[in-house]
């Protein structure tokens, strides 16, 4: 898909767990492929070692030079805003405080301030900015009364 449609932007969920290394090798050659880290950090983890797996996967993403296309996602599917905000606070707080000690524990370099800001927000903006260009183009076509593509 990334070879046939090089301009199409992809977000691969959950770092393609459990095929993370395959994803990272695709990302290394395909600059429009992004991925998020939802479900690696949760208040009640289904898989208790996923936070170490996250550190390992981010260390691998750094080695593949694709860490700037990895971003935080909540994967929240509920409908309670207070629960959602609580989840965001827990997960983002955990990432800020405990991710780098886990990176060190596994022998990887810690994330710099710049890399942490990318993971927690700036990296996804690159994906969304591209999407917003297409949304604007579509809105413009619709405003002209042209609803079939192209």
Could you tell me the two tokens for 129? 């900015």
Q: Which helix (H) or strand (E) holds 93?
A: helix 81-105
Q: Which of residues 68 and 75 has its CB atom nearest to Zn ion in the complex?
A: 75
CB of 142 to Zn ion, least distance (A): 30
The label of the residue with tokens 């170490």 reads 52
CB of 12 to Zn ion, least distance (A): 10
Respond yes or no on whether the N-terminal peptide bond of residue 18 is cis (omega within 30° of 0): yes
CB of 99 to Zn ion, least distance (A): 19
Q: Which residues of this chain interact with Zn ion, rule CB under 5 A?
A: 13, 75
Q: Which of residues 12 and 110 has its CB atom nearest to Zn ion in the complex?
A: 12
Residue 34 phi, psi (nearest 5): -120, 170
Q: Which of residues 2 and 74 has its CB atom nearest to Zn ion in the complex?
A: 74
């Amino acid at each position: 898909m990334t070879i046939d449609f090089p301009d199409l932007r992809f977000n691969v969920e959950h770092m393609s767990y459990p095929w993370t290394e395959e994803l990272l090798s695709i990302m290394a050659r395909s600059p429009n492929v992004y991925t998020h880290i939802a479900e690696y950090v949760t208040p009640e983890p289904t898989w208790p070692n996923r936070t170490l797996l996250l550190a390992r996967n981010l260390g691998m993403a750094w080695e593949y030079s694709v860490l700037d296309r990895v971003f935080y996602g909540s994967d929240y599917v509920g409908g309670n805003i207070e629960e959602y905000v609580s989840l965001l606070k827990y997960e983002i707080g955990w990432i800020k405080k405990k991710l780098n000690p886990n990176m060190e524990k596994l022998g990887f370099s810690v994330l710099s301030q710049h890399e942490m800001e990318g993971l927690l927000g700036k990296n996804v903006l690159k994906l969304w900015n591209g999407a917003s260009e297409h949304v604007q183009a579509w809105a413009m076509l619709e405003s002209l009364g042209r609803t079939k593509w192209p």
